[in-house]
């Protein structure tokens, strides 16, 4: 068997068999599914707490707030503020609403309580009073204008517009596309790459440090070339990462499917859509519904096979190339130090472009054709992340090829440099290494 | 026939030269001692033999052929800095290391089982290395070094870190391997630890070879004609009757007997000396003082006017 395969096998198996790997692999999807379940449960669950609010109405408005659902309003006639305040205790009022005399002018009212009132109560009070005043004003205007059907006419002027985005394909064919999906997809993919590079790059680095501090390194490189060992480790760890990632996708999918089948029977896309549109502003519910329906159509129209393949292909390429580029650097850092605490000075130049890339990626999601997005997706250290944000929006072929070519070239160059550092570094013990020292290593010929 | 040769090896690192044209020749089936203080360049030479690093100039021959990558399968190397993966099981790890030396999994497993049986450590097979004591781990390291039946075995500071029992076991196994035809190179700064088992010795000092020869030749060349005599009787009388060619270097009075360190000059033989002593005192012991490799090293350095301070 090829020695590099033997090394990959060991690197892979020794990590996959670890308890921490199994724990992380199986617990994370359960945790994610749990969080989702909790969020859905929170959203579905209505606020059923019964609350009574005392109202001191000093204005001339006639019952501007009315009891609704679980919130009851009690009007306190001929009660001073101080007496009312005591009632918070004696009558168990949740809060005290004081509507001032000049509410029409000041457009503000006060809600007193011992505890911070919930957002629902606050917005309920606000919207009730607002609706009440608006209705009064509107009927006054209608009366002044002397047009009985004015209200209907005004209502008819509401026109929500949905903008369908359609791209011209290379062959002149038109394709429906969704900006929202492109943004979400691009950003999600680039974030996954960012996480992956960091998590598994550090694993490569730790592996190198482990071999150094175990003092096994010299035994091994008397049997294999340092480059074989380095590449074997990088590839082995990448496979561990891919395994974990795949397991997460499969497990989370399975858990969500099983979970929703058990706990939320009859829940499908349309009912979710309904639920979410109802929770939006009730007055414009119908219009929103229409807009969302259009968006759903956009989304479905976006997912044709070619689009999916281009995104998937881009993801796999930039995912692997980006990881390989950075993990070679992480391996070089690991070889230069004796223990993990010493890695910090060398970590900065690696993590800086990565973090920068994430920010450029955010900018690119807003303006995928901008100069920052362009250069960020061409320069190799940031391109794996930034280009992935741009790909769902469609990138000219020459830019894509340029970016890929540069990434591959720099991967080869960086690996060559890293291998040189690695080769010397792994045999250096007990020496505080500086950048100057590393520069010297680069010039050794073997 | 020379089994291994290195000719005019030069190796420079930025700022200093690790080897300045060092040559060594190791004949087949012999034990070669590469001796010298720390920092002399021994480990660099050994890393070149193991192809961990390459020489700037010079040639290396293995069994008559220029050294190439496949030769690592015929070399066993126990480095000074040695260790094992702590989290891996002993058996698994030994198989892995053997596979890297080009052995098949089946072959490695069978041979490992045999060695583990020989050392009576078969029950460690499924233990993790971190559960083993240091001495136990050293046994595993030794087995993995020799498992692939290398023709050339290289030990860098072999006895440092070994307890006396393991060191003796190691010595015994190494001599057995030599008898089976293995060629062995020892590298150490602790000259006393290997001198009695080396057939041939090279002294390295400050990146240069300063002495090279068979163990016996060197000892013969550097013998000092110094003898130690222990006796009971009148030492004044003895001293008065010794000829002028016998130089008294040191006198020690012990509880039970007296000792004299004597140097014989102008061709005086040990028999001459005995003849002069016998009539006057009763001899308890009589022996030649043979210089240790350490003494020889210091003498060579002084003779060549080299400085002794080590980096």
Please, which pLDDT band fits residue A282 given cuts at 50, 70 and 90?
very low
* Residues B153 and B183 sit within 8 Å (Cβ to Cβ): yes
Contact yes or no for B97 and A7 at CB 8 A: no
Contacts of B75 in chain A (CB under 8 A): 222
- Cα dihedral B170, B171, B176, B180 sign: positive
Render pLDDT for B104-144 as a digit per residue (tens, 0 to 9): 999 999 999 999 998 889 999 999 999 988 888 888 999 99
Look at A285 and B151; give whichever has higher pLDDT.
B151
A51-154 architecture in CATH?
3-Layer(aba) Sandwich (3.40)
| CB nearest A214 (choices: B50, B79, B83) | B83
Burial readout A182-197 (b: 16 or more C-beta within 10 A, e: otherwise): bbebbbebbeebbebb
Which of A218, A229, A441, A446 is the mutation pick for testing B, counting most B CBs within 10 A?
A: A218
Contact yes or no for A222 and B82 at CB 8 A: no
Tell whether the model's pLDDT for residue A122 goes beyond 60.
yes
Render pLDDT for A324-374 as a digit per residue (tens, 0 to 9): 999 999 999 898 888 888 888 888 888 899 999 989 988 888 888 888 888
Tell whether the model's pLDDT for residue A278 goes beyond 60.
no
Contact yes or no for B100 and A220 at CB 8 A: yes
- Domain map (residue ranges) of chain A: 51-154, 166-443
B2-220 is classed CATH 1.10.3720.10? no
Contacts of A225 in chain B (CB under 8 A): 69
The whole-angstrom distance between B180's CA and the closest CA on chain A is: 23
Q: How many CB atoms lie within 10 A of CB A9?
A: 16
How confident is the model over A425-429, as a mean pLDDT?
A: 81
pLDDT score at A300: 61
Render pLDDT for B158-210 as a digit per residue (tens, 0 to 9): 887 778 888 888 888 889 999 999 999 999 888 877 777 889 999 998 889 98
B224-288 architecture in CATH?
2-Layer Sandwich (3.30)
pLDDT score at A171: 58
Complex prediction ipTM:
0.82
Tell whether the model's pLDDT for residue A101 goes beyond 80.
yes
- Domain map (residue ranges) of chain B: 2-220, 224-288
The whole-angstrom distance between A221's CA and the closest CA on chain B is: 6
Render pLDDT for A378-395 as a digit per residue (tens, 0 to 9): 999 899 999 888 888 888
Which of B81, B98, B132, B187 is the mutation pick for testing A, counting most A CBs within 10 A?
A: B81
H or E segment and range at residue B62: strand B57-62
| CA-to-CA separations, B81 to A213, B77, B137, in angstroms, rounded | 10, 11, 13
Render pLDDT for B20-40 as a digit per residue (tens, 0 to 9): 999 999 999 999 999 988 888
Q: Which of B46, B39, B47 is nearest to B18 (CA)?
A: B39
Contacts of A434 in chain B (CB under 8 A): none
Is the model's pTM score more than 0.80?
no
Contacts of A427 in chain B (CB under 8 A): 47, 52
Render pLDDT for A54-89 as a digit per residue (tens, 0 to 9): 888 888 888 888 887 778 888 888 788 888 888 888
Report chain B residues touching chain A, CB-CB < 8 A: 13-15, 47, 50-54, 56, 69, 72, 75, 77-79, 81-88, 96-97, 99-101, 141, 144-145
Which of A206, A209, A222 is the mutation pick for testing B, counting most B CBs within 10 A?
A: A222
pLDDT score at B176: 92
Q: Do domains B2-220 and B224-288 have the same CATH topology?
A: no
> Considering only alpha carbons, which residue of chain A is nearest residue B130?
A214
Report chain A residues touching chain B, CB-CB < 8 A: 1, 3, 6-7, 10, 14, 18, 210-211, 214-225, 427, 429, 440, 443-446
Mean predicted lDDT score pLDDT of chain A: 81
């Amino acid at each position: 068997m090829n020695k590099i395969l033997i090394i990959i096998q060991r690197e892979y198996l020794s990590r996959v068999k670890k308890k921490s790997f199994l724990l992380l692999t199986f617990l994370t999807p359960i945790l994610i599914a749990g969080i989702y379940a909790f969020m859905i449960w929170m959203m579905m669950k209505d606020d059923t707490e019964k609350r009574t609010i005392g109202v001191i109405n000093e204005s001339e408005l006639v019952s501007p707030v009315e009891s609704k659902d679980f919130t009851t309003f009690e009007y306190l006639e001929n009660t001073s503020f101080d007496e009312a305040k005591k009632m918070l205790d004696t009558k168990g009022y949740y809060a005290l609403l004081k509507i001032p005399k000049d509410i029409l002018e000041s457009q503000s009212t006060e809600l007193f309580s011992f505890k911070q009132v919930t957002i629902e109560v606050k917005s309920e009070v606000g919207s009730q009073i607002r609706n009440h005043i608006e209705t009064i004003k509107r009927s006054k205007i209608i009366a002044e204008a002397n047009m009985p059907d004015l209200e209907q006419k005004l209502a008819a002027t509401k026109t929500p517009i949905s903008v369908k985005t359609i791209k011209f394909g290379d062959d002149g064919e038109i394709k429906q596309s969704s900006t929202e999906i492109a943004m979400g997809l691009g950003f999600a993919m680039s974030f996954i790459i960012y996480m992956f590079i960091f998590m598994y790059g550090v694993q490569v680095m730790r592996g190198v440090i482990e071999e150094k501090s175990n003092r096994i390194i010299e035994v091994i490189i008397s049997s294999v070339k340092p480059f074989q060992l380095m590449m074997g480790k990088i590839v082995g760890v990448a496979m561990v990462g891919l395994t974990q990632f795949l397991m997460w996708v499969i497990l989370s999918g399975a858990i969500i499917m099983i979970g929703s089948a058990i706990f939320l029977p009859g829940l499908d896309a349309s009912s979710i859509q309904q639920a979410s549109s109802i929770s939006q502003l009730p007055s414009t519910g119908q219009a929103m519904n229409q807009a969302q329906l259009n968006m759903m159509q956009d989304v479905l129209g976006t997912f044709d096979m070619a689009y999916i393949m281009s995104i998937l292909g881009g993801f796999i390429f930039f995912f692997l190339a980006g990881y390989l580029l950075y993990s070679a650097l992480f391996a070089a850092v690991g070889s230069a130090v004796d223990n993990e605490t010493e890695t910090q000075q060398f970590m900065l130049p690696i993590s800086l472009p990565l973090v920068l890339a994430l920010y450029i990626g955010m900018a690119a999601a807003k303006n995928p054709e901008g100069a920052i997005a362009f250069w960020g997706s061409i320069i190799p250290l940031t391109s794996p992340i930034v280009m992935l944000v741009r790909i769902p929006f469609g990138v000219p072929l020459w830019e894509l090829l340029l970016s890929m070519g540069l990434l591959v070239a720099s991967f080869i160059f960086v690996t060559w440099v890293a291998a040189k550092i690695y080769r010397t570094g792994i045999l250096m013990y007990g020496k505080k290494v500086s950048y100057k020292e590393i520069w010297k290593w680069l010039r050794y010929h073997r | 026939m020379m089994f291994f040769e290195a000719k005019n090896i030069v190796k420079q690192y930025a700022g200093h030269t690790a080897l300045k044209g060092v040559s060594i020749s190791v004949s087949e089936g012999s034990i070669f001692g590469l001796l010298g203080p720390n920092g002399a360049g021994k480990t660099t030479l050994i890393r070149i033999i193991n192809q961990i690093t390459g020489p700037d100039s010079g040639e290396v021959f293995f069994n008559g052929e220029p050294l190439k990558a496949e030769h690592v399968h015929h070399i066993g190397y126990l480095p000074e800095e040695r260790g094992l993966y702590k989290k891996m099981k002993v058996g698994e790890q030994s198989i892995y290391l053997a596979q890297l030396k080009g052995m098949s999994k089946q072959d490695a497993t069978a041979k490992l089982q045999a060695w583990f049986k020989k050392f009576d450590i078969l029950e460690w097979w499924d233990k993790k290395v971190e559960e083993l004591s240091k001495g136990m781990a050293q046994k595993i390291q030794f087995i993995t070094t020799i498992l692939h039946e290398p023709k050339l075995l290289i030990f860098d500071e072999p006895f440092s870190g070994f307890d006396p029992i393991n060191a003796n076991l190691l010595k015994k196994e190494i001599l057995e391997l030599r008898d089976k035809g293995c060629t062995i190179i020892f590298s150490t700064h602790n000259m006393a630890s290997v001198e009695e088992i080396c057939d041939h010795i090279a002294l390295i000092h400050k990146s240069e070879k300063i002495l090279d020869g068979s163990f016996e030749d060197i000892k013969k060349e550097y013998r000092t004609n110094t003898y130690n005599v222990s006796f009971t009787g009148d030492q004044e009388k003895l001293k008065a009757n010794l000829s002028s060619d016998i130089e008294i270097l040191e006198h020690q009075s012990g509880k039970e007997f007296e000792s004299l360190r004597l140097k014989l000059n102008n061709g005086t033989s040990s028999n001459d000396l005995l003849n002069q002593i016998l009539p006057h005192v009763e001899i308890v012991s009589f022996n030649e003082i043979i210089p240790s490799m350490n003494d020889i090293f210091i003498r060579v350095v002084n003779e060549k006017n080299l400085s002794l301070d080590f980096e």
